[in-house]
């Protein structure tokens, strides 16, 4: 029997030998990471340096793009090293650190999408009171809560994980997450399991219920509003709903993969399903918002033309 004091590393057994394809996979992951960094940093710079974009919606978007950088940095450099390596192990402390990054990234993403839906509700359904209700202090408070709550909640999760007695060190994934560690516990980790479920489902379903409620209000407002109101709702809400759908699909894949036996599914597909929410969302958001929000698109074009002239 192996307990916590004897576990010094975890073996990530989802990796398999791809032979000469290893270097092709390495280049694909590398260029995806470079694209994510460049696209998200570019949009953060565009929002920060242009005072015309210092509005609530764009400040919330800036927080979202920062989270994409945070989440992808918690994954991509590690993936690159593991693809190059022939021994797929990770130290105990780094496994907990990566678990912390992965879970905080997911929670911040959902909470940010929730406050963005609230912002759109105020802008579309209460345009005259929008600027009096969405003050700078309120914006700062909302952004602070979307980051501080996940950081505190995930700190508790990692602390509970660190107290577990482990009877194994094999993780059937290409990265570390909390539930994979909990499944290695020698005895039933009731407290850790219950806290993890409550924190995860409370954050996910709480945010989803809030988003559905605000969009129901927006939909009712559009039916009773003018054509201009409906056009404004479509132009500003479409990227948000697309981002929410993309992330929810990816998170559902990950939850199903973590909680149920998926050994009947091919290994490559299991890896893709577990990585989807960590890779596709940081790629999807800058493209979706950068192309669909005309104010960001035009400001970016103006910045590029001013630099070239």
The string of pLDDT tens digits covering residues 131-154 is 899 999 999 999 999 999 999 999
Which of 77-86, 108-117, 294-303 is predicted most confidently? 108-117
C-alpha to C-alpha distance for 254 and 132, rounded to whole angstroms? 40
Angle at 174 between CA 169 and CA 179, to 5 degrees: 55
* Residues 253/254/256/257 CA torsion (nearest 10 deg): 110
* 9-12 and 89-91 strand pairing: antiparallel
pLDDT of residue 305: 65
In this prediction, residue 308 has a pLDDT band, given cuts at 50, 70 and 90, of low
pLDDT of residue 303: 65
- Token readout for 261 is 């036996």
C-alpha to C-alpha distance for 268 and 42, rounded to whole angstroms? 32
Q: What average pLDDT does the chain have?
A: 86
C-alpha to C-alpha distance for 162 and 166, rounded to whole angstroms? 10
* Cα–Cα distances in angstroms (integers) from residue 58 to residues 17, 42, 64, 202, in the given order: 44, 13, 10, 27
- Token readout for 95 is 């496994």
- Cα–Cα nearest to 102, from 143, 22, 162, 158: 158
C-alpha to C-alpha distance for 47 and 203, rounded to whole angstroms? 28
In this prediction, residue 51 has a pLDDT band, given cuts at 50, 70 and 90, of confident
CATH ID of 4-308, from 2.60.40.1730, 3.40.50.1100, 1.20.1070.10, 3.90.1720.10: 1.20.1070.10
C-alpha to C-alpha distance for 261 and 251, rounded to whole angstroms? 17
* Cα–Cα distances in angstroms (integers) from residue 142 to residues 63, 67, 135, 153, 296, in the given order: 11, 15, 11, 17, 22
* Range of weakest confidence among 63-77, 127-141, 203-217, 282-296: 282-296
C-alpha to C-alpha distance for 297 and 40, rounded to whole angstroms? 13
- Token readout for 44 is 């953060």
CB 161 within 8 A of CB 99: yes
The yes-or-no verdict on residue 272 having pLDDT over 90 is: no
CB 222 within 8 A of CB 236: no
pLDDT of residue 307: 61
Angle at 115 between CA 112 and CA 117, to 5 degrees: 110
The yes-or-no verdict on residue 49 having pLDDT over 50 is: yes
The yes-or-no verdict on residue 259 having pLDDT over 80 is: no
């Amino acid at each position: 029997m192996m307990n916590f004091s004897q576990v010094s590393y975890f073996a990530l057994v989802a990796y398999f030998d791809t032979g000469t394809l290893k270097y092709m996979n390495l280049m694909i992951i590398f260029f995806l990471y470079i694209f994510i960094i460049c696209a998200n940093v570019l949009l953060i710079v565009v929002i920060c340096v242009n005072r015309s974009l210092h509005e609530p919606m764009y400040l919330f978007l800036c927080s979202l793009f920062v989270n994409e950088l945070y989440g992808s940095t918690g994954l991509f450099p590690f993936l690159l090293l593991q693809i190059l390596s022939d021994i797929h192990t990770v130290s105990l402390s780094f496994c907990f650190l990566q678990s912390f990054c992965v879970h905080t990234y997911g929670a911040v993403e959902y909470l940010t999408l929730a406050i963005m839906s609230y912002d759109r509700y105020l802008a579309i359904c209460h345009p005259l009171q929008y600027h009096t209700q969405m003050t700078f202090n309120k914006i700062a408070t909302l952004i602070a809560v979307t980051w501080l709550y996940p950081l505190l909640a995930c700190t508790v999760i990692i602390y509970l994980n660190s107290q577990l007695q482990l009877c194994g060190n094999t993780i059937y994934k290409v990265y570390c997450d909390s539930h994979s560690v909990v499944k290695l516990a020698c005895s039933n980790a009731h407290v850790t399991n219950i806290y993890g479920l409550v924190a995860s489902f409370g954050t996910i379903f709480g945010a989803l219920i809030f988003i559905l409620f605000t969009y129901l209000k927006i939909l009712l407002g559009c039916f009773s509003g003018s054509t201009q109101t409906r056009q404004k709702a479509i132009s500003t809400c479409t990227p948000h709903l697309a981002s929410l759908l993309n992330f929810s699909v990816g998170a559902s894949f990950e939850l199903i993969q973590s909680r149920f036996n998926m050994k009947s599914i091919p290994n490559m597909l299991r890896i893709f399903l577990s990585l989807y929410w960590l890779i596709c969302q940081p790629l999807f958001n800058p493209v979706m918002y950068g192309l669909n929000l005309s104010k960001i698109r035009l400001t970016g074009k103006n910045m590029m033309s001013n630099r070239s002239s």
